[in-house]
Amino acid sequence: MNAETIERWVENLGRRYGELVAEGIIPDQPLVKPFQDSNWPTLHPGAGLELVFREDSKRLERVMIILIPTADQPVYIGQLPAPFTLNMNQSAVRQVLGAPETSKRSGKLPGGLGMRGGSDTYYLDQQVNPNVKVTLAYLEDRVVNNISFALIVTGHD
């Protein structure tokens, strides 16, 4: 996978699955629910990549990139859109992006999944990507383990 493809997915957040497939923006693969009662069917176009859709509208709501596994997950090893890199920590992120819009503190995850180092959320340039934010989640040592591009306002509860 390459940075241009990820940028195209981010630019098309909020659009419907059928439109994205018809225009060749995403692969024509079935959406799969991560668990039975999920309202968020996903598409896995490559290792460490998840495109998350809203079940009722089939709108693309999130592009998730796994850089370091926290469970039994494949890892993304391709190119990322600038200014992101495969090996980042919170200090480097804040040096490049500045102060986050919101930040979550470290915490212990339920179910024995261990500690996480919190997250930082930034709004993308609203002229270029209106209604899009990026959240960088950290491990306990403040290394970025995943990047999530998502709609700021989803249009549903």
Q: In order along the chain (157 residues), what is the average pLDDT of each group of 10 residues?
A: 92 94 93 75 90 90 91 88 92 92 73 68 84 91 92 69
Domain membership of residue 53 (yes or no) is yes
Q: Distance (Å, rounded) from C-alpha 54 to C-alpha 28?
A: 17
In the chain the first and final C-alpha atoms are separated, in Å, by: 32
Domain that includes residue 132, residue range: 3-151
pTM equals 0.88
**102 falls within a domain:** yes
Cα within 13 Å of Cα(155), Cβ side: 15
Is residue 118 in some structural domain? yes
Q: How far apart are CA 20 and CA 146, in angstroms?
A: 24
121, part of any domain: yes
Which H/E stretch holds residue 122? Answer: strand 115-123
- List phi, psi (to 5°) of 96: -85, -45
